[in-house]
Chains A and B, each alone.
Chain A
Amino acid sequence: MTDQVSFERVVREYGPAIDRLAWGYVDDAADHDDLVQDVLVALWRALPAFRGEASERTFVFRVAHNRAFTFALRRRRQAPLAADERTPDPRPGPEAQLDAAQRRDRLLAAIRRLGDAHRQAVMLHLEGFAVPEIAQLQGTSENNVAVRLTRARQRLRALMGEDE
């Protein structure tokens, strides 16, 4: 019962982040739902083993990213960037909302094109994880993560057609 309550709280608290994370790995709505389901089931199984060695947030994101990585391993295909994703439209959109959605789609498409390690670091950074936390999550040094983020940002800039 306690496990169930704890799991429900985790889903409520981290559900939106898991939803965003899934879009960083897949571009198809059906795949996205499958991946979210996979991650939630993996969390349901893993949570009883959580002993507080790391923060709960770190634990949840570890499980989520690892599970998403396995999911992506099996779905190798990667949609090429559409023309409007490669080159942003410099004109302001008719509606700000539409413009924001386009920017987000462009960002997600670019994130999906990154290498696995870079993609993971970028998504964690965008979720507000600090460099030491990302290092702990990825099992590497803080210096490596800083280098990884700098290179990933350069690649994102190129993929999104941003000005240097």
Chain B
Amino acid sequence: MTTAPDDWEALRNSWESAEPTAGGPEALALVRRARRGEAFAALAELVLVLVAIGGIALALRHAADTLELTLGVSAGAAIVGAWALGAITRSREAKAVASSASDYASALRRLRTRQLRVVHSTWVVLALELVFLAPWWAGGIGPHRGRLGDPVALASLWLPLAAMLGLAAWSARFRRRLVAELRRLEGFQREMAQERDGG
């Protein structure tokens, strides 16, 4: 089965009729600017991770008991894990970009599915943290009644609560994006398979 060449000629003329804007020296300047922006973002991300890990390490020197030590080490590991996962995902996506469209879609789908799994584990961790922290908070509210604005309440109640709510909101938004991308990737693969199956 072929398509008549003349049928496409008029379309090709329209397609090529535009004045191109990319390809000149400004395109190279654009890439240089983007590369600088990317390098700065990567550096900022690394500094942020190092500062966060450094802060936790300093705090751990004054850990009162094994529980605090475990919590600190877990938080540090989670930060490094999230950073490493982001870097690995970006690197794998960049490596796959030169493959065929169907292989690229499969690679993207694998990566997005993995990211979705991480979001779901985040929710499990958040739920477990709530199971642990809710009774602790409930027990502390009684003795600290009337002092819920002091630094101790801020550090042990409001700050963790805000961080957990922020993480929950971010992960819900990220999940929505991942699900939408996965649906479109499935659609693309279905579209590719339709002609393969003669549908």
Chain A residues close to B by CB (< 8 Å):
7-8, 11-16, 18-20, 22-23, 33, 36-38, 40-42, 44-46, 49-50, 59, 62-63, 65-67, 69-70, 73-74, 76, 100-101, 103-104, 107, 115-118, 120, 125-128, 131, 136-141, 143-151, 153, 156
Sampled A-B contacts (6; CB under 8 Å): A18-B22, A20-B18, A66-B104, A117-B192, A137-B101, A148-B195
Residues of B contacting A: mostly? helix
Interface residues on B, range: 35 or more
Say yes or no: B195 contacts A120, CB within 8 Å.
Answer: no
How far is A141 from B95 in the complex, measured between Cα atoms in Å? 24
User: What's the minimum C-beta distance from A57 to chain B, rounded to whole angstroms?
Assistant: 13
Contact of A136 among B8, B14, B100, B191 (CB under 8 A): B100
Interface centre among B15, B24, B95, B177 (most CB of A within 10 A): B15
With contacts defined as CB atoms under 8 Å apart, how many contacts are there between chain A and chain B in the complex? 165
Task: Please indicate the chain B residues that have their CB under 8 angstroms from the CB of A41 in the complex.
Answer: 31, 34-35, 38
Say yes or no: B14 contacts A107, CB within 8 Å.
Answer: yes
Say yes or no: A46 contacts B98, CB within 8 Å.
Answer: yes
Name which of B41-49, B135-143, B180-188 contacts chain A.
Answer: B180-188
Task: Please indicate the chain A residues that have their CB under 8 angstroms from the CB of B35 in the complex.
Answer: 41, 44
Task: Please indicate the chain A residues that have their CB under 8 angstroms from the CB of B102 in the complex.
Answer: 138-140
Q: Is B129 an interface residue (CB 8 A)?
A: no
The residue in chain B whose Cβ has the minimal distance to the Cβ of A39 is B22
The residue in chain A whose Cβ has the minimal distance to the Cβ of B96 is A66
Q: Is B1 an interface residue (CB 8 A)?
A: yes
The residue in chain B whose Cβ has the minimal distance to the Cβ of A100 is B17
Say yes or no: B14 contacts A115, CB within 8 Å.
Answer: no
How far is A107 from B10 in the complex, measured between Cα atoms in Å? 10
Say yes or no: B104 contacts A150, CB within 8 Å.
Answer: no
Say yes or no: B184 contacts A76, CB within 8 Å.
Answer: yes
How far is A80 from B7 in the complex, measured between Cα atoms in Å? 26
Task: Please indicate the chain A residues that have their CB under 8 angstroms from the CB of B94 in the complex.
Answer: 42, 45-46
Say yes or no: B97 contacts A139, CB within 8 Å.
Answer: no
